[in-house]
Structure 1
Amino acid sequence: MSLDTPAAAPVPPDTDPLLDSLTAVFRRVLELAEVPADGNFFLLGGDSLVATRVLSAVARTHGVELTFDEFLVDPTPAGLATRVATATAATAVAGAR
């Protein structure tokens, strides 16, 4: 490697692409620079109308349609990641039958 070639940034071993994707959705729709994994959507300034944009992005990006009631249970990137992962796993199991 030459001195003028930047080294690739190391990827933390605990990086979760699904969580990163959902955090990015929150940042985009809430127009925030940073959103923690446990950041509550509503406490960060979101409302029910903007929540529909989150749910639409989740369906479009991850193929999982969550209801608004499911979103309300844990309106955080981590909470949605758990729901998306669970729904994706259930679909995979059902498809394997």
Structure 2
Amino acid sequence: MTADDVLAIFRTVLETEDIAAADDFFDLGGDSLLATRVLSALARATGEELTMDDFLMAPTPELLAARIGGVVVP
């Protein structure tokens, strides 16, 4: 999954197109309930289940895409 794929999910969940790959989900107004929608969409798309801790450690489309790809984000 690419950062653009994750970005599309962010845009759908947050209902705005004004998001870039380096934007923090929570700075954009996302909350824990919306984050679970993102995690569910990612699980459906990839078959990989991320945790809320994963999301908190990687709250941008580019960081989440890297985490899905197996890159550990510090």
Residue 61 of structure 1, aligned match among 17, 20, 45: 45
In structure 2, the gaps of 5 or more residues are: none
Determine the structure 2 residue equivalent to 1:43.
27
State TM-score, norm by structure 1.
Answer: 0.69
Deviations 1:2-32 (A, max 9, x none): xxxxxxxxxxxxxxx6111100000000011
Percent of aligned positions with the same letter in both sequences?
Answer: 54
For residues 1-97 of structure 1, what are the structure 2 equivalents within 5 Å?
18-86=2-70
Shift of 1:34: 2.5
Shift of 1:78: 0.5
Shift of 1:81: 0.3
3-state DSSP of counterpart to 1:86 = coil
3-state DSSP of counterpart to 1:20 = helix
State TM-score, norm by structure 2.
Answer: 0.90
Q: Distance in 1 between matches of 2:67 and 2:47?
A: 12
Deviations 1:25-66 (A, max 9, x none): 000000111211110000001000000000000000011100
Query: Which structure carries more relative contact order (alpha carbon 8 Å, separation 6+)?
Result: 2
> How many matched pairs?
71
Q: Which runs of 4+ in 1 moved over 2 A?
A: none
What do you get for the CA RMSD once the two structures are aligned? 1.3
In structure 1, the gaps of 5 or more residues are: 1-16, 88-97
Larger Rg: 1
